[in-house]
Structure 1
Amino acid sequence: MLCDKCKQRPATVHFTKIVNNEKYEQHLCDECAKGVPHFGFGGDPNFSLNKFLAHLLTNDPALSGLGLTYKTERCENCGLTYSQFSQGGKLGCSNCYHVFREKLDPLLRRIHSSEYHKGKVPERTGGKLKLLKEMESLKNELGVLVSREEFEKAAEVRDKIKDLEKKMGS
């Protein structure tokens, strides 16, 4: 497809604008596109897609004129943002767990099948430690169920705890 303006070079920039359900398209080459203001961004010559996307993650004050209001969460203790955690995979401090809790809980459930990290117990250490861990987990689950008023499930968990206590006693 050739440029709509010069009709000489191949079109590499494609603008689509919809106003009152009418679609307007313009296909321009790189040279002709340099003089066209960016629709919806006030004709800022320094605007770029990279800056726009970076703003979504970093809330760059230089882009505040775009009218974007996305708020980046940042740990007040170490300064880590969630996007930095996503890239590196490591939290900066223990406070990060509280700051990013809403985003970390689904991630932990997917990885550990629980919101709590339970760890692993080697088989050779004996069953008592494993039973203690399981009982602790069930007691936590029981507390959650009671607070949610899911009493039937809570009764089942209570019975499991009693069975484990019997196993530990023998």
Structure 2
Amino acid sequence: MLCERCGNNPASVHVTHINNGEKTEMYLCEQCAKETESIHFQTPISFQDFLTGLLDMPFGNTEKYKNYIDQKEVLQCQNCKMTYDEFRKTGRFGCAECYSAFYKQLTPIIKKLHGNNIHTGKLPNRAAGELKVKRELEMLRKELKKAIEMEEYEKAASLRDRIRALEGGENR
């Protein structure tokens, strides 16, 4: 596709403007996009800048957010004495203990970014099988407890049998 402005160069920039609910799309070459006043190119942002921007975002109820703002001003890491406000400005921890000190404030941000606040990343193949079984056992035990509480004894018996099979090493 060629640039819609000059018609000479290949279009590499897709621009979408939404004005009063009306959507306009343009496909421009890099040169025309730089010359267009309505497009502002910025240098790539660093992860610290990205995280700092997220730290300033309200999450959910604005009344709770006001309380959250008041609380973060006094939060401080006991190890390095970095305050939460300093962390928000830099996007970097002062030490390894900062994560624990600011855990409550970081949890909603981490969940929003990753969908979870527990790391479940890649593992070496030889370790992945064992961890997968361990996680499945944990999940099955929770389900078993819930089934017993709900008096769903047939489901509980099925879950118990599955747990025994995994513990016995049948699925390894």
Q: Output the TM-score relative to the length of structure 1.
A: 0.37
Whose relative contact order is higher, 1 or 2, with alpha carbons under 8 Å and at least 6 apart? 2
